Chain A
Amino acid sequence: MKIISIHKNDSELVTLAASNNRKAQQALYEKFSPRMLSVCRRYFSNIHEAEDAMIKSFLKVFINLKNYENTGSFEGWIKRIVVNECIDQLRKSKIETTEFPDYFVEQSYLDIDNTYELEQIQYYIDKLPTGCKMVFNLYVVEGYKHQEISEMLHISIGTSKSQLSYARNQLTQALSNLNVKENETA
């Protein structure tokens, strides 16, 4: 299954995959799928749903590969497609976004230690409402601005900010409680 070693670099693979060479497509898939599945996993608490979203994303990647201009990071291009696919999937499941008052936004920040493991953080992110989770991921992990997020999710900038604020507070609270419990156990 290790086909990657045959090919020298991504641009060669991309060229081949764009001409619908299945082995090149597989090589690209094997190279980028673990990271892309991790992206999907942030949006879907269920790994199977995450994998489905990733597969559909890669399908879109290969279908649209001819339109890819070799400017910028190829991984970044794939990631945008993956994120958009995840959002589309979640939107299809009719997510509910809750508006929060603006004052809530001003107070929010993620006040956690850097010692927390990914699994612990992921656990509490999974518990967030879907809208909050999306905004949090898009803003904190993917690095989008509120303007972009509002356009992507078809929500107002204020809603994006309030969702983020809510998510941060929830996470801070949950992780603080976890810290307290760990100290008590110790």
Chain B
Amino acid sequence: MKQHNDSHIKKIFEEHEVLPSKMAWNKLSDLLDRQLPLESDNQLFFVSKKAKNYKSILDIAAVFLFAFGLVFWTLKTDEKNTTNLVVNSPNENKFNTQIPLESETDFYLEDIIKKTPSNNLVEKKLKSEIVHNNTLEVKIPIINQEVDVLTNDSVLIRTIPKAQKQIHIAWEPVKNKEIEIDTRNLIRSVERELIQDRAAEQLDKSKDRFEQIKFAIINRNYEE
């Protein structure tokens, strides 16, 4: 009887479960954090330390490679972009293009474009035409900056086919020079002058008329 009751109590207690509160694990986890460092943390720390060493070496190597590649690429690109410029124009000083006459010098295409007035237009035109043609011939209009008018002078840029990869730039003087003038201003100034002239004429006429009348009156008085 005694044993039977003991086993009954043991059975019902052993089967019994009490759910702990939700905070219990958090408390235990905190205690574990204090007592035991996390395995994953340790591993991460270990790995990250190693990885850091490798990573730093790789980073440095990558930076060097990148820098070397960049320099190499820049040099290559510079070679490609270098142009052989021949200037034949006798008018170069007139338009202040700063390109020496009758000389064959290496120029960077970009520099030429920059030095040439109306940069954007030229660049756009060049870009569009270079894409389509192996041989390019572009006439770039030049603006005479002193007068601020478009001239018919232009820079002729010819590209030699891809094989040679050079851009040949030559000055071509244009025979028929035409200077564009701001007609509005001109008309206004002419009108102004005309008005002034007319006023002067009127004044002169009035003076003459006055003189005539004056003499007429004098003569009539005299006759009377």
Q: Which residues of A contact B (CB under 8 A)?
A: 19-22, 25-26, 29-30, 33-35, 37-38, 41-42, 47, 50-51, 54-56, 58-59, 62-63, 109-112, 114, 117-118, 121, 140-141, 143, 168
A55 touches B9 (CB 8 A): no
Interface majority SS (helix, strand, loop, mixed), chain B: helix
- Beyond the given A22-B40, A37-B18, A59-B31, please list 12 additional residue pairs across the A-B interface where CB-CB is below 8 A: A26-B29, A34-B19, A34-B20, A35-B17, A41-B18, A51-B21, A55-B27, A55-B28, A56-B31, A62-B36, A140-B9, A141-B9
Q: Is the CB of B28 within 8 A of A29?
A: yes
B18-46 toward A: CB 8 Å interface, digit per residue (1/0)?
11110011011101100111111010000
Q: Please name the residue on chain B nearest to A55 by beta carbon.
A: B28
Main DSSP-derived SS at the A contact region: helix
**B42 and chain A: residue at smallest CB distance:** A20
Contact check, A51 vs B20: say whether CB atoms are below 8 A apart. yes
Query: How far does the Cβ of A165 sit from chain B's closest Cβ, in whole Å?
Result: 11
A-B contact count (CB 8 A): 87
Q: Which of B10, B14, B18 contacts A34 (CB 8 A)?
A: B18
Q: What are 18 pairs between A and B in contact, CB < 8 Å?
A: A20-B42, A21-B40, A22-B38, A29-B25, A29-B28, A34-B19, A37-B17, A38-B13, A38-B17, A42-B13, A51-B21, A51-B24, A55-B28, A62-B32, A63-B35, A111-B2, A143-B10, A168-B2
B45 → chain A closest CB, angstroms: 13
Chain B residue at minimal CB-CB distance from A175: B5
* A110 contacts across to B, CB distance below 8 A: 2, 5-6, 9
Report B-chain residues with C-beta under 8 Å of the C-beta of A63: 35-36
Flag whether B115 is at the interface (Cβ < 8 A). no
> Which residue of chain B lies nearest to A143 when distances are taken between CB atoms in the complex?
B10
